[in-house]
Amino acid sequence: MCVKGETLVLGERKTLTTRPNGRSADRIAPGASKGCAMACVYCYVPRRKGQADPVTVVTDIDAIIAHAGRHIARHGHCTTCAG
């Protein structure tokens, strides 16, 4: 059974949360997709599991953009950003 190559899953985000990052960016915004494409060379999933859950593309992009706008309005410009 080849689920990844034959299935497109559409969904909506259950929660819209902007999380702290602590790496190259201050925050991580909700994404427009989730899942695994099994394309990472170093990953164990294709070797051990043989398959992964299909990638889900979210359909509520307007809600994600509105959430990001509210977050920016609430917190203002990033204080640790260059420029």
Q: What per-residue confidence (pLDDT) applies to 63?
A: 92
Predicted TM-score (pTM) of this structure: 0.63
The yes-or-no verdict on residue 6 having pLDDT over 90 is no
pLDDT (tens digit, 9 = 90+) per residue, 19-75? 888 777 778 888 888 877 766 777 777 667 766 677 888 899 999 999 988 988 887
CA dihedral 59, 62, 67, 70 (to 10 degrees): 180
CA 41 – CA 51 distance, rounded (Å): 14
The yes-or-no verdict on residue 1 having pLDDT over 50 is no
The yes-or-no verdict on residue 5 having pLDDT over 60 is no
CA 5 – CA 51 distance, rounded (Å): 10
CA count, 13 A, side-chain hemisphere, 48: 4
Where do the domains of the chain lie?
3-75
Phi, psi of 19 (to 5 degrees): -100, 150
CA 78 – CA 68 distance, rounded (Å): 13
Which amino acid, 67?
Answer: H
Over residues 75-81, the mean pLDDT reads: 67
The yes-or-no verdict on residue 79 having pLDDT over 70 is no
